[in-house]
Structure 1
Amino acid sequence: MESNSFFLQRAVARGADWHVSYLALCMASSTDPVDERRKQIVVAAADDNSVRMAFFSSLGAILDFQASWSEMDVATRGWLNFTTRWNRWWLPDVAALASIERHANAPTDVRFAAGRSSARIAPGVAPSDTDAFRRYLDTIEQHYRRDESISRTLFLPDAAFHIQSRSPAP
């Protein structure tokens, strides 16, 4: 599949620091109750000049892709249209959705970082601003940490029980 070669050349595989920071996001695409069809999760930010996408795959990989719209040829946009159709997308706001829709297709499964109040949490995340993008990822990570099936796995409530049961009686 030649259409994804630009993506593969530009995507950066993120290491342990991202995996540790985004444990719940890494788990979300492989947890049935969260993503019923086990979709890959794409956290993206876009404006009229560029797009940035972090892919959290069900295989555990985190790929960080960034490019300007003008760099993308027809084959790359075809690949992007495929990803907007088959993955779960998180966006900071409606403006990012409009940018993606202008340059590709609007995602069919889209969520916003904080619903109607996303402007307060992730106002216009610039794709090139790594610090703002990481804060935006932190917001989405918190969303998935609140999911019962993920938090139960991440925080092992049984471990707290075992610690308490070993305490000496008063």
Structure 2
Amino acid sequence: MESNSFFLQRAVARGADWHVNYPALCMASSTDPVHERRKQIVVAAADDNDVRMAFFSSLGAILDFQASWAEMDSATRGWLNFTTRWNRWWLSDVAALGSIERHANAPTDVRFAASSAGVAPADTVGFRRYLDIIEQHYRRDETISRNLFPPDAASAVQSRPIAP
């Protein structure tokens, strides 16, 4: 599929530091009770010039993509239209939704992050704070929380004998 080649060329695979900071987001797309159809989670920031999307896949990959709208050709926009239809999107505000709608299609499954103001796509520090807010949302989900922090994990660590 040629339409996703631009995405694949520009996406950055995020490593262990992101996995450690966002374990609930990583788990959210593969937990049945959270997402009925196991949708990939897309956390996006957009304005009229640029878009940034972090994809948290059910396979455990985290891909971070940034581009200007002007760089995207019709094939790339076609691929983006597919992603807006089949993934769960988190946006910082209604303005970001409007930008995506003007340049592609509005996502069909949208959530807005509480307590987040508009995030500039190029602002990495702001984008990471925005991801922190969404991570906290998923940590409050009972199924994810139980898997991340099992009640017997603390006692298992304390009861292990210490090697001489």
TM-score (structure 1 length as normaliser): 0.91
After the TM superposition, which residues 120-139 of structure 1 pair with which residues of structure 2 at under 5 Å, given as runs?
Answer: 121-139=115-133
| Alignment-mate amino acid for residue 95 of structure 2 | A
Residue segments in structure 2 that go unaligned for 5+ positions in a row: none
**C-alpha displacement of 1:164:** 8.5
Partner of 2:48: 48
Distance (whole Å) between structure 2 residues aligned to residue 164 and residue 53 of structure 1:
40
Which deviates more, 64-73 or 157-166? Answer: 157-166
Partner of 2:142: 148
The structure-2 alpha-carbon separation of the partners of 1:152 and 1:73, relative to structure 1 and needing over 3 Å to count, comes to: same
| RMSD of Structure 2 on Structure 1 (CA) | 1.4
- Give a deviation string over 1:64-108, Cα, whole Å, max 9, x none: 000000000000000000000000000000000000000000000
Partner of 1:68: 68
Partner of 1:117: none
The structure-2 alpha-carbon separation of the partners of 1:75 and 1:159, relative to structure 1 and needing over 3 Å to count, comes to: same
Distance (whole Å) between structure 2 residues aligned to residue 36 and residue 97 of structure 1:
23
Distance (whole Å) between structure 1 residues aligned to residue 154 and residue 2 of structure 2:
50
**C-alpha displacement of 1:160:** 3.9
Residue segments in structure 1 that go unaligned for 5+ positions in a row: 115-120
| Alignment-mate amino acid for residue 96 of structure 2 | A
SS of the equivalent of 2:152 reads helix
Distance (whole Å) between structure 2 residues aligned to residue 69 and residue 57 of structure 1:
23
- The sequence identity of aligned pairs, in percent, is 87
After superposing on structure 2, the runs of 4+ consecutive aligned residues of structure 1 that deviate more than 3 Å are: 160-166
SS of the equivalent of 1:157 reads coil
Pairs aligned (count):
160
Distance (whole Å) between structure 2 residues aligned to residue 155 and residue 83 of structure 1:
31
